[in-house]
């Protein structure tokens, strides 16, 4: 298998940072679920969580860099005690156009989390909600028994407060259940919308299709099944370097719970520092980011394979 860096070099391509648009903040690795595909390897036994000191430095950086988007992820961000404050203070930033939270939905069905839909609505949060399939058996196989049922109840509750009905944005996320690429995003979105509307009366705005990254639990699962080499080959042979123009690392900065910065959430998990090295968010200048080389590895094939993949879905769809 040819290395991703070698493929770039042979094609005369390079990956460097452009203008910073999105600050993606991973607030910790604790989660109520322990999903088989999770590249973060989040779960109920993880304890990492962002401190108040790091929170203050993240907000200060967001203000001085005038970011247009803040994208909050985890783990389950709702388990982070400082999330309500972070949402409220982020909303006060003059530059902010979009405030996103990535939720697994099932957390909102647990005791103590019933008020989060209203909290999200009050802060005009766009929700990016994991729903790896609309069929119960597929969701439960990937995320645990009973997850689909909880997700459906939460989606209905979100619709009731205005999510997915035209008032507040609700995006669902599909990722494959195995060692294959996502199908066409538009076709899957149509299938999701028809099934959820007709079966449960649920509406949502859009579907994001995301390719499974061959790192973390998913990589170990593939290796155990003897499927890793084949999946890596599929990603390489399906790569489309035209997708390089839209990959999220060009305009996104990933920050971990300790305040360390990376080119993307996947590099964060692999501890692959970018051009600035393992820098702390409070020590870097936004002006120093543009033009910096982006750290790459063979996992990057997943972002350019097929229609391309980013945290906001298919790159081919976003470029239409």
3-state secondary structure the chain: CCCHHHHHHHCCCCCECCCCCEEEEECECECCCCCCCCCCCCECCCCCECCHHHHHHHHHHHHHHCCCEEEEECCCHHHCCCHHHHHHHHHCCCCCCEEEEEECCHHHHCCCCCCHHHHHHHCCCEEEEECCCCCHHHHHHHHCCCHHHHHHHHHHHHHHCCECCCCECEEEEECCCCCCCCCCHHHHHHHHHHHHHHHHCCCCCEEEECCCCCCHHHHHHHHHHCCHHHHHHHHHHCECHHHHHHCHHHCEEEECCCCEEECCHHHHHHCCCCCCCCCEHHHCCHHHCCCCECCCCHHHHHHHECCCCECCECHHHHCC
Structure tokens at 106: 């099932």
Structure tokens at 188: 């899957």
pTM of the model: 0.93
CA-to-CA distance for 75 and 100, rounded, in angstroms?
15
Instruction: Using 50 as the pLDDT threshold, list the residues of the chain that sit under it.
Output: 317-320
CA nearest to 49, candidates 27, 33, 22? 27
CA-to-CA distance for 155 and 163, rounded, in angstroms?
8
Measured CA distances, 252 to 63, 289, 290, 300 (Å): 15, 10, 11, 15
Measured CA distances, 5 to 190, 241, 268, 269, 290 (Å): 36, 12, 18, 19, 20
Q: Count CB atoms within 10 A of the CB of residue 275.
A: 15
Q: Count CB atoms within 10 A of the CB of residue 38.
A: 24
In this prediction, residue 239 carries a pLDDT of 92
Q: In what order do the strands lie in the sheet with 98-103?
A: 206-209, 170-174, 126-130, 98-103, 69-73, 22-26, 252-255, 261-262
Sequence spans of domains, the chain: 19-213+247-292
In this prediction, residue 235 carries a pLDDT of 95
In this prediction, residue 219 carries a pLDDT of 93
Residue 308: phi and psi, rounded to 5, are 85, 160
Structure tokens at 177: 């259940």
Structure tokens at 118: 């209203």
In this prediction, residue 256 carries a pLDDT of 96
CA nearest to 297, candidates 267, 275, 268, 276? 267
**What dihedral angle (degrees, nearest 10) is formed by the CA atoms of 151, 155, 181, 302?**
-100
In this prediction, residue 318 carries a pLDDT of 46
- Tell whether domain 19-213+247-292 is in CATH 3.20.20.70: yes
């Amino acid at each position: 298998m040819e290395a991703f860096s070698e493929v770039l070099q042979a094609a005369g391509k390079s990956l460097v940072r452009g203008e910073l648009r999105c600050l993606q903040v991973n607030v910790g690795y604790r989660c109520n679920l322990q999903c088989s595909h999770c590249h973060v390897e989040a779960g109920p036994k993880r304890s990492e969580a962002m401190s108040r000191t790091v929170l203050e430095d993240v907000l200060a950086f967001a203000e001085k860099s005038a970011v247009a988007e803040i994208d909050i992820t985890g783990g389950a961000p709702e388990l982070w005690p400082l999330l309500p404050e972070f949402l409220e203070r982020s909303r006060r930033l003059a530059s902010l156009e979009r405030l996103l939270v990535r939720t697994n939905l099932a957390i909102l069905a647990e005791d103590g989390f019933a008020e989060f839909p209203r909290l999200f609505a009050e802060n005009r949060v766009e929700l990016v909600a994991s729903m790896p399939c609309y069929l119960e058996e597929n969701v439960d196989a990937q995320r645990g028994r009973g997850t689909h049922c909880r997700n459906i109840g939460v989606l209905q509750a979100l619709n009731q407060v205005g999510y997915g009905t035209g008032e507040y944005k609700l995006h669902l996320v599909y990722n494959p259940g195995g060692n294959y690429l996502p199908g066409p995003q538009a076709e899957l979105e149509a299938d999701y919308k028809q099934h959820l509307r007709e079966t449960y009366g649920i509406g949502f705005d859009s579907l994001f299709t995301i390719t499974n990254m061959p790192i973390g639990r998913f990589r170990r699962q593939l290796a155990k099944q003897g499927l890793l080499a084949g999946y890596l080959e599929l990603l390489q042979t399906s790569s489309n370097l035209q997708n390089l123009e839209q990959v999220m690392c060009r305009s996104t900065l990933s920050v971990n719970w300790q305040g360390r910065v990376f080119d993307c959430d996947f590099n964060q998990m692999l501890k692959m520092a970018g051009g600035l090295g393992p820098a702390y968010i409070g020590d870097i200048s936004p002006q120093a980011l543009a033009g910096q080389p982006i750290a790459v590895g063979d996992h990057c094939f997943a972002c350019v394979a097929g229609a391309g993949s980013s945290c906001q879905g298919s790159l081919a769809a976003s470029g239409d």
